[in-house]
């Protein structure tokens, strides 16, 4: 279901949703996590926001039992599992509040980060509530940030991960394209807006992949897995504007199990 720009109620809902998406909450890392095993870092896409079944002790980080890290750990029984990904996290907040669970004996790490660094919430607000030209301009500003400022943030984060977990296999996951162009949505964003947002996702994934390679990490994209399941596909694995508002623009449970989990499992 596409966002319907002209509904006043939808506009109110979107404003609340993007405000929630933009709030970076510190991860409540578990200090008692056993050495070694698997550590899941990152933002809401790793926490599982949008998929429901949130762990009661994760608070506003909203870590889900349906998120790909939890699903992988349940299927593979690592020696230990530290799940500290958090809604709203940036490269800086991941580095500042999530890395304490890493150690020299950590063997596997997964991470998603970068979308919040380039103002994802602001871009979606501009595209949903304002004109096509405003949307495209906002997307272009985000793309400029991806190309100019984001690489250093990613590089610093990856360097910090490697420093704390020198023996770990680190998997960096990307982000899906949001929209199937010429799809089933009959209202909401224009094709020009949807195309611009998809292009920005491709640029973001390219920047992340390059910095991951520079760090000696493994990048695993999810675009192929989500193809045919974008918004406007008729079988979307992503939430549009929905209730509760914090689920908006995040993968559903099917997106975690059918998209992110296979992408991680193939390289983990």
- Could you give the residue numbers annotated as active site? 44, 250
What is the C-alpha separation between 97 and 100, in angstroms, rounded? Answer: 7
User: Is the distance from CB of 238 to CB of 230 less than 8 angstroms?
Assistant: yes
Report helix, strand or coil for 237. Answer: coil
- For tokens 């949903």, name the residue: 128
Name the H helices within the chain: 8-21, 44-47, 68-76, 91-97, 120-129, 132-148, 150-164, 191-215, 223-226, 253-255, 261-265
Angle at 122 between CA 46 and CA 182, to 5 degrees: 80
Judged on CB neighbours under 10 Å (0-12, 13-18, 19+), 44 is buried
Report helix, strand or coil for 132. Answer: helix
- For tokens 């029984």, name the residue: 77
Q: How many distinct helices (H) and strands (E) make up the chain?
A: 11, 5
């Amino acid at each position: 279901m596409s966002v319907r720009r002209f509904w006043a109620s939808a506009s109110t809902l979107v404003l609340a949703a993007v405000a929630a998406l933009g709030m970076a909450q510190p991860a409540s890392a578990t200090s008692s996590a056993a050495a070694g095993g698997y550590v899941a870092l990152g933002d809401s896409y790793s926490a599982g926001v949008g998929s429901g079944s949130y762990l009661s002790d994760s608070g506003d980080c909203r870590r889900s039992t349906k998120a790909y890290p939890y699903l992988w750990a349940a299927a593979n029984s690592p020696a230990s599992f530290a799940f500290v990904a958090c809604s709203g996290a940036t490269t800086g907040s991941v580095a500042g509040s999530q890395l304490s669970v890493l150690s020299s004996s950590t063997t596997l790490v997964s991470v998603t980060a970068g979308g919040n660094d380039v103002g994802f919430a602001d871009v979606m607000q501009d595209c949903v509530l304002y004109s096509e030209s405003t949307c495209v301009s906002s997307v272009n500003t985000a793309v400029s940030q991806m190309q100019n400022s984001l690489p250093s943030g990613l590089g610093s984060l990856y360097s910090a991960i490697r420093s704390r977990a020198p023996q770990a296999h680190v998997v960096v996951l990307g982000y899906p394209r949001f929209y199937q162009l010429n799809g089933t949505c009959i209202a909401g964003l224009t094709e020009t807006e949807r195309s611009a947002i998809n292009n920005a996702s491709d640029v973001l994934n390219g920047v992340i992949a390059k910095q991951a390679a520079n760090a000696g990490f493994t990048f695993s994209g999810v675009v192929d897995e989500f193809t045919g399941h974008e918004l406007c596909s008729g079988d979307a694995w992503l939430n549009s504007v929905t209730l509760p508002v914090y689920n908006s623009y995040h993968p559903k449970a099917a997106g975690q199990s059918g998209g992110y989990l296979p992408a991680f499992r193939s390289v983990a």
